[in-house]
Structure 1
Amino acid sequence: MPAPHRSNDADQNGLVLDDLDRGLIHALHLDGRAPFNRIGAVLGVSTQTVARRYRRLRADAALRVVGLADPHRAGQARWLARLTASPHTAQELANALARRPDTAWVKLASGGTEIVAVVDTPTGAAAGHSLLLHDIPRTTSITSVSAHYLLHTYLGGPTAWRGHTNALDEQQQRQLRPPARVGEPTARQAVTDADEDLLAVLGRDGRASQADLAEATGWSPATVARRLTDLHTGGALFYDVEISSTLFGATTEALLWMAVTPAHLDAVATALAAHEELAFVAATTGPTNLVAHALCADPAALHRYLTHRLGALDAIRTLETAPVLRTLKSAGPLLRA
């Protein structure tokens, strides 16, 4: 059963999303820098209304648009680290990991004693693996560590969870997708060292103004605009929207660690990537070669998903479910208070 999509979904603070809120969030997934007047024209409301809703969601729902480089285009390898620690130190360790610039997606799971984090390291550079090779093993109170290389992502990154992106019809989506540069074919782009300052600002605020980006990079606004278009249309830059999934009715989330028969791994992962309950699916190294992130309405919905949908796939030999208690870091870096 898919995670619900209701007009009266609310988080624990009582904030309720309506159709306009969800349309705006969907629009920002399609183009995180889309002007409010273009979003308003597609949604049938004024520019001022879109701007007010955006400010409300930022203030009351901690919504944030972040611009992120595709790891492969930026010469980065991604690892999924699993750590277990004593209950009285796990929270402190998770906070320390969340503050690091080389981590993303830091979560507390399995009763608060397990930490799961995505770690970015330079491809092929052992010196860049300091977190995995040196820093974590030296930390006290850790009882176990495992690192899983992300070999292929089937769902996640530029492909958002469908719970966030089912508000707009196909015509509206076409109107909001950013066009390529006129008269020039879209070419695959690679992130270079020259893009570092640009990406640093976008990682904090994907809707930072052209003036702010020009000041950070030392480029002209026109150069900034061209580079943003090239990176985005060339697949090297994508925009993510950080907002609590509870606002979309998903109150129960879990990480699923699966061992799949190698001959069927691609077929199973491709099938899972189409499941509306999942926000992330990736093939990894290790004894469990497939990991997924499930978002469900409640524990009963998660149980139905595990037993009816995953249970029907014979190629899944083992399945470990780790409930997520708290997300300390999402896609973008932590912002200083």
Structure 2
Amino acid sequence: MESDSHDALDRRLVHALQLAPRAAFSRLAAVLGVSDQTVARRYGRLRGAGAIRVLGLSDPERLGEVRWQLRVRCSPDSAGAVATALARREDTVWVSLNSGGTEIACSTRTPPDRSDHSLLLQHLPRTPSVLGVSAHCVLHTFFGGAQSLAVKSGALSAGQVAELAAAGPRVAEPDGPVPELDAADRRLLAVLAVDGRAPLAELAAACGKSESTVRRRLEELAASGVLYYDLDVDWRIFGLRTHTWLWLNVVPSELAAAGAALAGHPEVAYACATTGPSNLHAVVITRSVRELYAYLTTRVAALPGVQHLETAPTIRIVKGPGPLPLSSPRDI
């Protein structure tokens, strides 16, 4: 879906959904200054075209899970098949083909009761077409999760942002208690991971609870930080076409400052500190290669303590932040 087919209202709607993902169309319409029918029609068109999905996801950090960033080198004729196989796994997100189609980048999450890291230590290294695997454990997230590039877009005014933030989920308390999840909670989260705007009636049927009970549980899970909402967006809506993974080696004493600076850059969609020789990782999305060059030689060049920088352009997104959608992978 090309950006030429989108207008300012599409961009404002995406920004609004990031702030208030489950708000009624009537509430969104009132803030955006259009009719309920217009918002419903726009959302239906974007969702039907695969340009946006609202997802309700569980936070791995709050659940005590270990996250890894993987770089998998493959033979050119097998990278696509390996990427597809990785995307089908429940423990992977953000699977992409990078660097000319010979490297796969992806994120994984491992429950705290599983220490074998089977994906890392068993399956991938024994795959004949895999030439090498580099695994980086995520230590700290500077930007990502419940935040996305939409909040940096400036599509909405400050007043609209404030109004929608009040209508959105409660801000999680990072040091608060983590509720224990039961089977009903997991069924609830499974539905939300596919459609974060699923109606209460559908959620209630999935977990065998009343709608009022489900509403309260949604609020509890969001307030605890276990549940957060994310958008799977085709960023061409905003005219952004160039996706690039960055791996930086930063002096440890400057790592926190460099990561915080990256988090504030409008080009950065995700940033985290990791283990390994490259201890700072980021995903950057720009309008063009020329804009990427300008970003690297200005904002990145000004970061404190950077000793080495590696870039890996993305040519195909196989899987985004949630479960693998039924639509085909997105070429960019």
Instruction: Settle same-fold status: TM greater than 0.5.
Output: yes
Residues 25 and 164, structure 1, Cα contact 8 Å, conserved in 2:
no
Equivalent position of 1:232 in the other structure: 222
Q: In the alignment, which of 269, 286, 294 is matched to residue 284 of structure 2?
A: 294
- The percent of aligned pairs where both chains have the same amino acid is 47
Equivalent position of 1:3 in the other structure: none
Post-superposition CA distance 1:201-237 (Å, at most 9, x none): 0000101111111111111110100011122233222
Partner-residue secondary structure (3-state), 1:255: strand
Equivalent position of 2:146 in the other structure: 158
- Deviation at residue 102 of structure 1 after TM alignment: 0.5
Equivalent position of 2:108 in the other structure: 119
- Deviation at residue 19 of structure 1 after TM alignment: 1.8
- Deviation at residue 190 of structure 1 after TM alignment: 2.3
What CA distance in whole angstroms lies between the structure 2 residues aligned with 1:214 and 1:189? 25
Q: In the alignment, which of 11, 22, 47 is matched to residue 11 of structure 2?
A: 22
The change in CA–CA distance for 1:252 and 1:172 in structure 2 (over 3 A counts) is same
What CA distance in whole angstroms lies between the structure 2 residues aligned with 1:72 and 1:263? 24
- Deviation at residue 71 of structure 1 after TM alignment: 1.0
What CA distance in whole angstroms lies between the structure 1 residues aligned with 2:319 and 2:145? 15
Question: In the alignment, is residue 190 of structure 1 matched against residue 178 of structure 2?
Answer: yes
Q: Extract structure 1 runs of 4+ deviating beyond 3 A.
A: 162-165, 178-182, 185-189
Residues 68 and 136, structure 2, Cα contact 8 Å, conserved in 1:
yes
Equivalent position of 1:142 in the other structure: 130
Equivalent position of 1:172 in the other structure: 160
Q: TM-score, normalization: structure 1?
A: 0.90
Report the AA paired with residue 58 of structure 1.
Answer: R
Equivalent position of 1:63 in the other structure: 52
Q: In the alignment, which of 77, 90, 111 is matched to residue 88 of structure 1?
A: 77
Report the AA paired with residue 134 of structure 2.
Answer: S
Equivalent position of 1:252 in the other structure: 242
Residues 180 and 186, structure 1, Cα contact 8 Å, conserved in 2:
no
Report the AA paired with residue 52 of structure 2.
Answer: L
Equivalent position of 1:311 in the other structure: 301
Q: In the alignment, which of 197, 204, 208 is matched to residue 194 of structure 2?
A: 204
Report the AA paired with residue 145 of structure 1.
Answer: V
The change in CA–CA distance for 1:131 and 1:186 in structure 2 (over 3 A counts) is closer
Post-superposition CA distance 1:49-92 (Å, at most 9, x none): 11011101112343111001111122211100110000110000
Question: In the alignment, is residue 75 of structure 1 matched against residue 64 of structure 2?
Answer: yes
Question: In the alignment, is residue 98 of structure 1 matched against residue 87 of structure 2?
Answer: yes
**Is the deviation greater in 309-318 or in 201-210?**
309-318
The change in CA–CA distance for 1:189 and 1:166 in structure 2 (over 3 A counts) is farther
- RMSD in angstroms over aligned alpha carbons? 2.1
Residues 269 and 283, structure 2, Cα contact 8 Å, conserved in 1:
yes
What CA distance in whole angstroms lies between the structure 1 residues aligned with 2:287 and 2:144? 20
Residues 69 and 191, structure 1, Cα contact 8 Å, conserved in 2:
no
Report the AA paired with residue 18 of structure 2.
Answer: H
- Deviation at residue 252 of structure 1 after TM alignment: 1.1
Give unmatched runs, 5+ long, in structure 2. 328-332
Q: Count the aligned residue pairs.
A: 323
- Deviation at residue 193 of structure 1 after TM alignment: 2.8
Residues 12 and 32, structure 2, Cα contact 8 Å, conserved in 1:
yes
Equivalent position of 2:330 in the other structure: none
The change in CA–CA distance for 1:117 and 1:180 in structure 2 (over 3 A counts) is closer
Q: In the alignment, which of 272, 276, 279 is matched to residue 262 of structure 2?
A: 272
What CA distance in whole angstroms lies between the structure 1 residues aligned with 2:169 and 2:84? 42
Give unmatched runs, 5+ long, in structure 1. 1-10
What CA distance in whole angstroms lies between the structure 2 residues aligned with 1:218 and 1:50? 31
Partner-residue secondary structure (3-state), 2:6: coil
- Deviation at residue 111 of structure 1 after TM alignment: 0.5
What CA distance in whole angstroms lies between the structure 1 residues aligned with 2:302 and 2:175? 41
Report the AA paired with residue 79 of structure 1.
Answer: W
Question: In the alignment, is residue 262 of structure 1 matched against residue 257 of structure 2?
Answer: no
What CA distance in whole angstroms lies between the structure 2 residues aligned with 1:247 and 1:44? 20
- Deviation at residue 179 of structure 1 after TM alignment: 5.3
